[in-house]
Structure formats: C-alpha cells, structure tokens
Chains A and B, each alone.
Chain A
Amino acid sequence: MEILVCIKRVPLSGAKFSLTADGRDIDTSRLGFTVSPHEECAVEVAVRLVEQHGGSTTVLSLGVEDAEEQIRDALAVGIDEGILLVTDGEEWDAQATAGAIVDAIAESGKSFDLILFGNESADASGNQVGIRVAHALSRPTLSGLKGVQVSDGVLVGERPAGSVREVFEVSLPAVATVKDGAAIPRYPSVPGRIRAKKKPVHRSTPTRPLSLLAKQSVSVPESVGKQTKILGSGPEGISALVDVFRSIGVI
C-alpha cells in the first residue's frame, strides 16, 4: 500500500513564547522546530503499516525551505521519500493548505491508499486540513484516531469517546487524522539518519491563493511560566511527595 503523511513545521514549545515586533507571530529566532506529537504518531503509524503490509510511504510538508529538516526527521524513522511544498513563510489558511496538498497529490502521480494527518497542527490548531483534503478527493475520513489498523483493504480506526472506544471501518482509499497515542513513535537510529540524507525530497513551489482567513495578531496568555515548587526537604518532604504521586496516579 501507498501511504502519505502530512506534517507541519512548528516552533518547539516548552517555554515562554516571545512575539515578533509586529505582534503577528511567534518570535522563532531562538527556537527550534518540530512537528506536533499527533503528526509524529501519524508518521509512526505509516511506517508500521508498511512494515506490516508492504508498500511505500511519502511525507509531505507545506512550509519554508527549512521544513526539509522535519521531512528528514520523518525519513530518518523509515518514511521513504518526501515532498516539500516551499512557501515564503506566509501563513496559509486551512483551505489554501488543503488545496495545495490536493494539487501535490495529483502531481505526484501516486494514488495513495491512505493519507494520514495529525488531528490538528501544534500552532494553528485548525482541525480542518485533513477533512478538507478528504472532501476534495471524495474519500471517506476518520478523525481523532488513537488506533489505526488495515486489513483486507479496510481501515479500522479506533478512538476514545468518553469511557468507551469507538471503532470504525472504512474502505481504502481513505483519509485519517490521528492523535497522540496512536502509536509510540520510535527514535531515529544513526543509520536511519544517514539513510534519510540520501532519500529523495521532491520540491515544488505552489502559489498561495488569496487568503480567506487572515491572522491579525497573536497574544501570549498570562501564564505562570516554569515554576518549581519546593515540597519540602529531607524526610519531612516525603509525605508531600507521596501525595503528589497519588494525585498523578503513579502509586
């Protein structure tokens, strides 16, 4: 089977964000980049499905030239080739992004049996691109999946719904968006890294359509930032520590 995974380069979080001078974006000059945990899982799902069923995998990203880094990361854990739709760094809304992906799929000449997305991007969190692509391609789609299996041309997707698990079956070709937890992503090995460097990444430069959605400004919510709470020290601290362990369910 042929699988396509779509990923988005986003700033690495974990710290207080600063904004650019015009207040329209995150200042990324000191930040690293990554993809969302959902997308990491989507990549892992794709690699495992092909390991199980045979076939090949492609990773696609729409973003700046440097998004090649995220594509190579995916190639390092077993994706076979990459497609980079190079932008000038302007924000593409969900509709424009989906359109570019649909065009790129057509251009690739491949008929992907399964197209995987993260449920939402880590920065814009639009929850739309996967579904828009499915709609444009007239394919069935499942979203928010925490489990993805394929058997006999059928995609079996699972997701939690309250205290129960929903299980869906749709026929391939299909589109699915997955969530963190769908599979535990593997670490790249050094040989994987070395192979990734030699794998093909196809580039094209789509034209950005007039945006229907325009980002006006962003703001950083008041947050407490990183805080260290001293629970106590020495033997006196133990009961407080035990309370914490209980509250997070590890004991």
Chain B
Amino acid sequence: MSNVPASAKCVVIGAGIVGNSVVYHLARLGWTDIVQLDKGSLPNPGGSTGHASNFIFPVDHTKEMAQLTYDSVKQYREMGVFTECGGIEVARTPERMQELARRVSSAKSWGIDGTSIITPAQIKELVPYIDETVILGGFYTPGVGVVDSLRAGTIMRERAQEMGALTVCAGIEVIGLDVEAGRITRVRTTQGDIEAGTVVIACGLWSPKLAKMAGAEIPLTPAVHQMKDIGPVPRFKDAKGDIEYPIIRDMDTNMYERQHGTGLEVGSYAHRPILHDPEEVPSVEEAPLSPTEFPFTQKDFDLQDEHSLELMPEIIGDESVGQKYAINGLLSLTPDGMPILGETPEVKGLWSVAAVWIKEGPGTGRAVAEWMTHGESEIDLHSSDIARFHDHHKSRKHVKDRSAEGFNKTYGIVHPAEQWNSNRNVRLSPYFEREKSLGAVFFETVGWERPFWYESNAHLLEKYGEAVMPRTAEWESRWWNPIINAEHLAMRETAGLVDLTAFALFDVIGPGALEAVQRVAVRQMDVAVGRVVYTPVLANGGGFKSDLTIMRLGHDQFRVVTGGAHGMADKKWFRDRLPADGTAQIVDLTSKYTTLGIWGPNARKILSAVTSADVSHDGFAFGTCRTIEVDSLRVLASRISYVGDLGWELYVPIEQGAKLWDVISEAGSPHGLLPVGIGVYGTTGRLEKSYRAFGNELETDYNAVEAGMTTAKVKAADFVGKEAHLRQRDEVQITTLCSLTVDDHASKSGQKRYMLGREPILTKAGGPIEDAKGRRSYATSAGSAPSLGKHVLMSYLPPEYATVGTELLVEFLGEQYPVTVAGVGAKPLFDPENLRIMS
C-alpha cells in the first residue's frame, strides 16, 4: 500500500525552515500539487532547524545575504513569530572597533537603519550583567530579534495546505531519485514512488546524500556548533517571555550569549572545526536526542567557558547557575560560506536549497520559489547559485578544508580581498613557474593561482614615486601592494603581459549555434566570422545575468569567454537555453586553452616582432579575431581590451602556453614589456576606463540602461530579457552608474585612507541616497586610478545626483570623505575618446 501520492507537480524533500518556506512561496506563486516529504516527524523533524538558536542579526557585509536576511525578518514579523530584542556585537580589541565601524557602513549600504556604535557604559545600561571593563564598545542593532522557526515552518506549511496546494507526508524516507535523459522523473520513498518533474532538496546537512541519489552534487559538510544552556539565572527568574535583553555577540572570542527564558544560552564558533560526513549522521531512531544534536564535547568548550565568564561574571560565575543542556549541534557549512541554491547543473528539474540558516530561511525560500517560477528572483542569488562550483570545488577534501577554514571566521574580521590558506595550487597556468620566479604574489580565483603583482617590478616604485599612491593604513594595505599601481603606469607607457588562464571558455557549436547565442546575448551575434562581440546577458526582467565576450570563429562555432568566477553559471545559462532540437551543443574548453593578454602602446611593436601577420590598425581591426602565426605557434589573437590600451588576447593550447610566454617576453624586452598582475587587469585598468564588472556593478538588481550599456539600436532577433530591455529603454531612468573620485583622503588622524568597495555613498549632509525603487547608493567598486592620480569609486546614483561635479560623501570605517561625480554613464574617465585602444 502506498501512503504517498502517485504523482506530483513538485516534491519538496525536507520540512525544516527552508523546505517549509519553499512550499509556502511556491503555493503563493500559483503552484499546485506539491508534496512535501520528511523522514522525521513534524513539527520538528530533527534537522538543524530544531536546535537552532533562532536569533537574527541583519547586518552582513555580503549584499546578497543582507537582502535575504532582511526579507526573512519581514516574513517572520508578518507571521508573528519575531521578537525584537536588539543585539550588540561587542569589541575587545581596537581592530574589532574598526571592523564594527565597517559594519555600520555595510548597514547603510544595504539600507538597514538605526545601527550605531555605542560605548561600554551604554552597553552596560542595556545589558546590566555584562562586565563592561573587558570591552571597548559595541555595534548596536536595535532590529535584532529571535524567531520561533518551528512555528514559522508550521504556519508556512499550513498556509500552503489552506491554499489547497500542498500534501504533507511526514515520517517517510526518500530512498531513491530517478533520472531519465538528464531530467528528474521520480522520487522513491519507503511508502511508494512519486512521479515528479520538479524535486527540491531542502534537506539541510543531509542534502549531499539526497543529491547523490540522482547523481548530483551539493558540496556542503555537516559541522558542529557548540552551545550550552545554563540556568536558572536569578536575574531572569521573572522573565515573561523568551527574551528581554539584547543578544550579545562577543566577536573577538567567536561567541554569543543570549537570554532564553530563565536561562542563558552560550554558543561558540571558536572551537576547533569539527566536521562530519552526511552519511555518518545517525537516523532519527539511532539518535539519543535528535540526529543533529551530537553529544557535547566539553573539552572543546573549556576556553569558551573562561571567555564567557570574563564577559558575564554575574551570571556565568554564579555557582547556583547550572549547565542544564549542552550540545554539539550540527549545521551546514559550505566551502565559500554561502548557501547552495538553484537547479543542479547535473539534473534538470532537481533543485537545491541547502546550507541555509534560520536568519535567511524564509527569504531564501521566497527567492528560490521565484526562481523556479519566473526563472529569476528579485534578490540576485548569483553568490549562492549551485552552478558556481567548479569540479574541484566538489571534492570532499576541498569542501572540508575550506569549510573548516571558514568556520572560525564566522565572527571573524574578513578582509574583502582575503585569501584562503587551504587547498591552494589546484589549478596552475602554464606560466606558473615563470611567474613564481618573477616573485608573483598569487591570489586564487576558482582554484586558479593568478599573479596579482610581481615583486620583480618593485624597482618601478622608485621610478614612479608618489604616483603609485602609496597607502599607510594597515587595512587597505592588506592584500595590496603599490607595485600594482606601478605596473599600471608602466603598462600605460610601454606594455604589460597578463596571465588570463583563469578565463572560462566554452564553444557553442552546431547548425543551431547562431540561434543559441542570439537567444542569450543582447548584442547582435549574426556577425561576420572573426568578429568579437562584448555583450550583456540579461535575465527575463532585464537585469544582468552576466557580461561576456563571444568570438565568432566559424559559421557554426562561437567561443564564449567569461570570467572564471562566474564561468560555470554562465555555461549553465547557455546550456539551459540551447535549441530544443539539439542542433547546438556546448563544449567546455577552459582546460584546453590558455590566454595571455598583451596591452600597452608598444603591444603592436612587440607582436609584429614575432609574427608575419598584419597586425596594423587596419590590418587587424579592433573587435576582430583570427589565427596568426607567432614564432612556431598558431595563436588565436583577439583584439579587445579590458584595461584601456591597444592590445590582444592570445589563445593557445595550454601545453604551448609556456612557449608563447617565452616568445612574447623575449620580443617584448627591448620594448619595455613587463608582466602585469590581476591587480591592474581587474581593478586599476578597468576602473580608469569605467569598465563594469559582473558581481560588482552588474547584478540582476540593475538593468542595462541603468548600467549605461545600451546601444543605439536593439537587434531584431529575440533574446532573453528583450521585452523588459525595450521597456526599460523607454522608461524614465531612476538611477545611473557613475564614476566618482575621492577629493580628500585625510582621516581625522591625518592618515590617508582608501576605500575598498561596498561603502555607502551619502549626500553632502551625510544622509543615505536611495533611488525610486529604494536601492541605496554604494560603491560597487573602488580602487586606484594611477593614470588619473585619483582613487575612483563607481556607484549608481539617482538623476538628481548623477551629474558631473556633484559633491557627495563616502563613508569608510566610521569617517566620511568628500567625493565628486567625475563621470556619468559608460564614458571613461581616462582616455574618454578611446584613442589608445583604437590606435
């Protein structure tokens, strides 16, 4: 006998916070015939939701996470399960005080108002049981609160049931997921099979196990978060509710303390990373408490006991207050700290909604339900997209190494450019050994080791002196070197050689290839063979899905070149939109070709020295590509530029890369060619030219008109987002991407400070700037523009501010600095007529 429906439109596996949220939002968006399964019993099936500490601090440096959390709080409030209590992140060190100032800025950037830095005395007033002498101050967020996540889950399930859209089946285990021709077709359970074309894995830390049943990967690991509940606390003996005092995050010890009725809950992210395998998490029957509540290991908490005693001696030091309950609670960690959302790249119709914590649960459920319904979500989820992972990211060692490294940074001071220590040197370009011998300082992008600058260029510092805009403050000198700016200036004088092996490359081939790329690219792709087209890629709503370059290499062959970081998601985007008749296919060539860029006034002289091909301005026009012979190599050369100088991208099979490097280097040496790092390519070169970057300026929040990336005419062929794009071209523009320059870098202490990006842009009076859609203005990018002698920021600005010469402020680490709008739209600040590129 079968206790589950024989078929469903959609099966959602998991009834934790996010599974419940997904079923509700799917129902709200019109889905019917949804079946929700859970192995455990309701309302607490035994996953991480059941033991969560349930508090929410809304401020996060990551925009995506802040937006998901903000939306979640709105939903929890609407459901009546949110209790606002306020929260304070306290600092024990001056470094932390600076970090807290940065959090105030992030709050302003993401539109979270009312936060402030408060003094130890003010903290003592709010939290009388704290020893204020061990702290220097705190970051106060009045909107912090606690939620009843189990109740919220029940409410959301019931709403979906009331809409007649949902059948809930608890106590039923999924034992198989069937896939036919790359599509999910069936969920096998202990109570019978369910035919379904859409299946959502919302199984928290068990998600990898479920995904494997279908041959897909969800790279997360269960990890321990320790917490203990002590009480009864005399001060709380008359507590009326769950919480009456602000929650304290003791950031420098990686701990939190929150009132919980008559008790105090103390949690920690300070202990050694304790990772488990999804397969070894016990079943409901085998678990003494719940499957995700492992036995507490006191010795991992010994130091935390002492830290909490320092901060709250009145309660923690009270001999009458006993430890009533303590667990090693399991939660999900991912190698990059972000959730894992979206349709799996391996299986059509199989979705992951995993590694989602209480604070972002309902917002994530809504966003994923929108994505499933409309193909995109209001909140841009590109940092959480499951398609972001490259193959090596899915290895268990990588997942564990990075999750472990990230765990102790949960409350850490994480620099925007901070590098991982674990699992490095995974993807090495053919130039790696040469770069190493030149003293390259490597940063990692999706496994590739990329030189950010070369110590071999240090001698240039003397030559350029103050023009390299040296920094004295530690924060913005971290993960930075003035050599970057020296390399930049040298490239503008002679020429630079850039390792671009980290590009993701894939060909779209076959009789339907043109149709396939036309459908995705905004720009006209029906161009002559040998043309190179830089194009936005839009979502249905007209917001950015990507920006990339496509070379037409043949009648039926287009080569897509995109950034490594977003390459896998781009590939999925193209693959999902191939013609249904199978007339076009995608071939990933990332590991087949290496790319070497050469740019600068001398680039042509250098290339001419090693090729007999005509590389004159007319003989090799900008925006074209063709195969030329360089020494003994056949090289695909493409004349484009992301740094604003004359030059080419040179592509050769990866095993020939070293030869290409040597040939070009030798030919370049009389012309002043020098290796140039990604510091120039990714920041200084592009910022001077106001070139946009995906994930910074370009997100689905903003459209091509706002980003200043429209052309005079829109192609006749249909493409994704066309309808919205045409509409947006006719609408009154409510924001425009602008370039701003910093007028005065002097802080109150006299030290010059340099913004790093994501800082709020404020009116001259210091108020936030918001457009008609409520989007805040913030620095989408920031960096040196050495040829201008300025520090440049990019920011979207509403029309009243988007005029050259408008004076505004930027807030950085607690202080405000004057800035001026220097450019509106795409017009570059440096070489606005593009004479260099077109020379």
Interface, chain A (partner B; CB < 8 A): 12-16, 18, 29-33, 69, 72-73, 186-194, 197, 225-226, 228
Interchain CA distance A29-B286 in the complex, whole Å: 11
Contact assessment for A192 and B295 in the assembled complex, using a CB-CB cutoff below 8 Å? no
Known: A16-B286, A190-B230, A190-B321. 8 other contacts (CB 8 A): A15-B287, A69-B299, A186-B322, A187-B322, A189-B321, A189-B322, A191-B319, A194-B306
Set of chain B residues within 8 Å of A15, measured between Cβ atoms: 282, 285-288
**How many residues of chain B get a CB closer than 8 Å to chain A's CBs?**
30
Q: Check if B280 sits within 8 Å of A30, measured CB to CB.
A: yes
Q: Is the CB of B288 within 8 A of A32?
A: yes
Given contacts A32-B294, A32-B295, A197-B302, contact A190 B286 (CB under 8 A): no
A189 touches B318 (CB 8 A): yes
Q: Which of A16, A72, A225 has the most chain B CB within a 10 Å cutoff?
A: A16
Residues of chain B with a CB closer than 8 A to A226's CB = 284-285
Could you list some 28 contacts between A and B, CB below 8 A? A12-B288, A15-B282, A15-B287, A16-B285, A29-B280, A30-B282, A30-B287, A31-B288, A32-B295, A33-B295, A69-B297, A72-B298, A186-B322, A187-B230, A189-B230, A189-B319, A189-B321, A189-B322, A190-B305, A190-B317, A190-B321, A190-B323, A191-B316, A193-B298, A194-B305, A194-B306, A194-B309, A228-B41
B288 touches A190 (CB 8 A): no
- In chain B, what residue has the closest Cβ to A192? B319
Bound-state CA distance A1–B256 (Å) is 42
Contact (A187, B324) CB under 8 Å given A16-B285, A29-B280, A193-B298: yes
Residues of A within 8 A of B319 (CB): 189, 191-192
Residues of B within 8 A of A16 (CB): 285-286
- List, in ascending order, chain A residues with CB within 8 A of B308's CB: 190
Q: Is the CB of A225 within 8 A of B285?
A: yes
Please determine whether B305 and A193 come into contact, CB atoms closer than 8 angstroms.
Answer: yes
Q: Assess whether B296 is interfacial by the CB under 8 Å rule.
A: yes
Measured between beta carbons, the chain B residues less than 8 angstroms from A225 are 285
Kindly provide the distance from the CB of A9 to the nearest chain B CB, expressed in whole angstroms: 12
How far is B319's CA from A189's CA once the two chains are assembled, in angstroms? 6
Q: Which 4 A-B pairs have the closest CB atoms?
A: A32-B295, A187-B322, A14-B288, A16-B285
Distance in angstroms between the alpha carbons of A125 and B284 in the assembled complex: 27
User: Is the beta-carbon distance between A18 and B286 smaller than 8 angstroms?
Assistant: yes
Cross-chain contact A190 with B289 (CB below 8 angstroms): no
Which of B285, B289, B302 contacts A193, CB < 8 Å?
B302
**Which of A16, A73, A193: most chain B Cβ within 10 A?**
A193
- What residues of B have a CB within 8 angstroms of the CB of A189 in the complex? 230, 318-323
How far is A18 from B282 in the complex, measured between Cα atoms in Å? Answer: 10
Q: Mark B310-331, 1 if CB is under 8 A from A, else 0.
A: 0000001111111110000000
Binding site for A on B (CB under 8 A): 41, 230, 280, 282, 284-289, 294-299, 302, 305-306, 308-309, 316-324
User: In the assembly, what is the distance between CA of A247 and CA of B830, in Å?
Assistant: 86
Separation of A175 and B306 alpha carbons in the complex (Å) = 37
Determine whether the beta carbon of B296 is less than 8 Å from that of A187.
Answer: no
Measured between alpha carbons, how far is A134 from B309 in the docked complex, in Å?
43
Contacts of A30 in B (CB 8 A): 280, 282, 286-287, 294
Whether B288 lies near A191 (C-beta < 8 A) is no
**C-alpha spacing A187/B324, complex, angstroms:** 6
Do A191 and B295 touch across chains, with their CB atoms under 8 A apart? no
Question: Residue on A with the closest CB to B313?
Answer: A191
CA gap between A189 and B317 in the complex, in Å = 8
Tell me the smallest distance from the CB of B15 to a CB of chain A, in Å.
15
Docked CA distance A15–B294 (Å): 13
Docked complex Cα distance between A226 and B517 (Å)? 57
Measured between beta carbons, the chain A residues less than 8 angstroms from B317 are 190-191
Smallest Cβ distance from A92 to chain B, in angstroms? 24
Within 8 Å CB of B289, what residues of A? 14
Nearest opposing residue in chain A for B230, CB measure: A190
Could you tell me the distance between the alpha carbons of A33 and B294 in the complex, rounded to whole angstroms?
Answer: 11
Which residues of chain B come closer than 8 Å to A14, judged between CB atoms? 288-289
Chain A, residue nearest B264 (CB): A190
Once A32-B294, A228-B41 are accepted as A-B contacts, the answer to whether A190 and B285 lie under 8 Å apart by CB is: no
- A80 smallest CB distance to B (angstroms): 16
Q: How far is the CA of A15 from the CA of B288 in the complex (A)?
A: 5
Name the A residues within 8 Å of B295 (CB-CB): 12, 31-33
- For A33, the chain B residues whose CB sits under 8 A away are 295
Query: Closest chain B residue to A197 by CB distance?
Result: B302
Residues of A within 8 A of B297 (CB): 69
Q: What residues on B are CB-neighbors of A69 within 8 Å?
A: 297-299
Q: What residues of A have a CB within 8 angstroms of the CB of B323 in the complex?
A: 187-190, 193
Residue on A with the closest CB to B281?
A: A30
**Residues A32 and B296 in contact, CB atoms below 8 Å apart:** yes
Cα-based distance from A143 to B287 in the complex (angstroms): 33
CB distance from B474 to the nearest CB of A (A): 35
Using known A-B contacts A30-B282, A72-B298, A190-B305, determine if residue A13 contacts B288 with beta carbons closer than 8 Å: yes
Chain B residues with Cβ under 8 A from A12's Cβ?
A: 288, 295
In the complex, residue of chain B having the shortest beta-carbon distance to the beta carbon of A188: B323
Q: A197 — which chain B residues lie within 8 A by C-beta?
A: 302
Report A-chain residues with C-beta under 8 Å of the C-beta of B230. 187, 189-190
Question: What's the least CB distance linking B44 to chain A, in Å?
Answer: 11
Q: How far is the CB of B504 from chain A (nearest CB, A)?
A: 41
Measured in the bound complex, the distance between the Cα atoms of B294 and A42 in whole Å is 26
